[in-house]
Amino acid sequence: MIKFSEIREKEITDPRVPELARIATVLQRRFLLDLFKKTSAKRLSIPQYTLLGFLAAESGVPMGHLAKQMGHATSATTGLVDRLETAGLVRRAAVKGDRRQKLVEITPKGRDLVGKMQAELRYHLEGILKKLNGPDQDAWVRVYRAMEEYCRELPGT
């Protein structure tokens, strides 16, 4: 496995990489600023919103599973869940047969919040798709799928 700290600029040979890096930086900056504004307006931290996003995709999961997805210690994830539970966005449910084990579920209020916050992203994605012709639209989706797969294969994800 490659260590990112060992990558040298001279090892990157594809001449398109600098332009892609510039574009990725612009996108990251825009997405992070928008996300920060949205979460701040809802009095959420970005880690809390990230946790809600995981639960919107897969609700009713053990705390340890959430911690692993978040890349946090279980104690840190427990703190996030505590605050989200106080806000009525998630709830804990006991596992049948093991009262010590708790599952974390997103509430309808939490699911509604995530849906509203993702609506703007979906709106912009549709706007971009409309700027592309049919084959380019399909190609863009294929590229994003490849990016998603690559990210899932990175260590720590």
Tens-digit pLDDT string for the chain (157 aa):
556 666 666 677 889 999 999 999 999 999 889 889 988 888 999 999 999 999 999 989 998 889 988 888 989 999 999 999 999 999 999 888 887 788 999 999 999 999 998 898 899 899 999 999 999 999 999 999 999 999 888 876 5
pLDDT (0 to 100) of residue 44:
92
d(CA 38, CA 44): 8
Please state the domain extents for the chain: 14-153
Q: Pairing relation of β-strands 98-106 and 90-95?
A: antiparallel
pLDDT (0 to 100) of residue 2:
57
pLDDT (0 to 100) of residue 21:
92
The CATH code belonging to domain 14-153 is: 1.10.10.10
Both tokens of 46, joined, read 């970005």
